[in-house]
Structure 1
Amino acid sequence: MRFGSLKPLFIINAALLGCLFLPAAQAASALEEGLHQFFSQQYSAENQQVNVNIRSPQSQWPKCEMPQFSMPSSARRWGTVSVLAQCPQDKRYLQVEVQVTGEYPVAQSPLTRGQHISPADFKMTQGRLDKLPAGSIMEISQLDSAVLTRDLAAGQTVTTSMIRRSWIIKAGQSVQILAQGDGFNVTSEGKALNNAAIADSVRVRLASGQIITGKATEQGSITLLM
């Protein structure tokens, strides 16, 4: 009889515990949904999927139901990030893990340092973008008319530190200089003192020994704006 009388009490206590934990579960769900919407707006590509996990303890969560989220424009958008959650009378910084799955380019076959590359040398693959090395290139078009600065294995991700733009002018090369002004054009020649891609700044030594600076053009000449 003694044990039988405890059974209804156990059931009542379990029900009370369920009521206590339910609001916390609802708060977690609402906050995660708000953060998911915030980050999803920043990944508009159809092939990208976002998953958000809150790392901050619940004691540090904002007190209102619908906080406003924001981040500095220069901050990372995936991985472990800090998000400002603002309520009318309160603001909190949340540590959040943002997982993003999408497409990114990888080498189709081994490529060597110094090789001129094009989008045809790469293919798009699907994976976790937040696990890629810092500076990874996401758009295959960014690999057009570039030169590798290191060897690349088949299936390897490309980062900005692994490529440079093709030199249109090389140091020591004789170049034509075009000075343009209001109603006049003057041309001369000089020797380039540094490598440059299109629109890069170039230092040029004239026959007189004077050093001037201009911009590299698509034709391999130097333009001075007067």
Structure 2
Amino acid sequence: MFHLPRTFCLGIPLRWVSALLLTSMALVALIPAANASETKHDALMESVHQFLYQETQALGNEVVINLRAPSPHLPTCTAPDPFLTNQNEAPLGRVSVGVRCGTDSRQVRYLQAEVDVIGSYIVAALDIERGSQITSDMLREKNGNLGDLSPRAVTQPDDIIGKIARRPIASGTAIQTHFIQAPHLVERGQRVTVIAQGTSFRVSREGEALEDGAMDEKIRVRFDSREVLTARVVKRGTLMVDF
């Protein structure tokens, strides 16, 4: 039984004192439960954190990962196996990470993270006109948080140099994939050679390109017989039929 000093009890109804004691006892009882819920997700959190670090360490010099903890009501995730829900984009900014749980990987849950990577990316060093073929002196590196960039931003100069500007690009602008395109190796209306080959044959025909085409793009070609087929650009003026 709890005994309170007389000076504390003066002027306070007994039922209030009892309520305060019960509330204090309940809060103390919740502390071990909260710690237990954090502990049961430690392996999951560590697994996802390490996974994101491995996926991003090559992108920049400094990586900061803020991972939102799962609900304490969820069961423990055994043998966590993280994966990116969007394989086509670098894990930057707000990222959703899937985690397969259990030895049979039947249970899947998702965690949200904020990933900041400090690194270099490419911007225009000067105003680039539409239709210009981009050279190295038109570009410069800039350091910053890659997570603030558009998912379409291009960070490697080799992926930009030699490409054609599809639109005007202002100085200081980060280069994005839809700003540039590979140069055309085939022009619409051009006479081209179309090659079809297999293990024991090779046939070539001449036709007319019905579309512009860059390296590895598939375009339509019309032959003198009025036959139309699709072939892949392999070099200037030459296409290949894929079987």
Band of TM-score, shorter chain = 0.7 to 0.9
| Residue in structure 1 matching 2:209, options 171, 179, 192 | 192
> Residue in 1 aligned with 2:166?
149
> Residue in 1 aligned with 2:49?
36
Whether contact under 8 Å (2:98, 2:109) holds in the other structure is yes
Which amino acid is 1:201 matched to? K
> Residue in 1 aligned with 2:147?
130
> Residue in 2 aligned with 1:68?
80
Aligned residue pairs total: 214
Whether contact under 8 Å (1:114, 1:149) holds in the other structure is yes
Which amino acid is 1:127 matched to? G
| Residue in structure 1 matching 2:133, options 105, 109, 116 | 116
Question: Is 1:94 paired with 2:111?
Answer: yes
SS of equivalent residue, structure 2 residue 164: strand
* Deviation (angstroms), 1:155: 1.5
Extract unaligned runs of 5+ from structure 2. 9-23
Question: Is 1:174 paired with 2:191?
Answer: yes
> Residue in 1 aligned with 2:94?
80
The 1:133/1:60 distance shift into structure 2, 3 A limit, reads farther
Structure 1: distance between partners of 2:196 and 2:99: 54
SS of equivalent residue, structure 1 residue 41: helix
> Residue in 2 aligned with 1:51?
64
Which amino acid is 1:39 matched to? L
Whether contact under 8 Å (2:60, 2:117) holds in the other structure is no
Tell me which structure has the larger Cα radius of gyration: 2
* Deviation (angstroms), 1:168: 0.3
- TM (normalized to structure 2)? 0.68
* Deviation (angstroms), 1:36: 3.5
Structure 2: distance between partners of 1:112 and 1:61: 55
Whether contact under 8 Å (2:59, 2:117) holds in the other structure is no
* Deviation (angstroms), 1:225: 5.8
The 1:171/1:67 distance shift into structure 2, 3 A limit, reads same
Extract unaligned runs of 5+ from structure 1. 6-12
Question: Is 1:105 paired with 2:119?
Answer: no
Whether contact under 8 Å (2:230, 2:241) holds in the other structure is yes
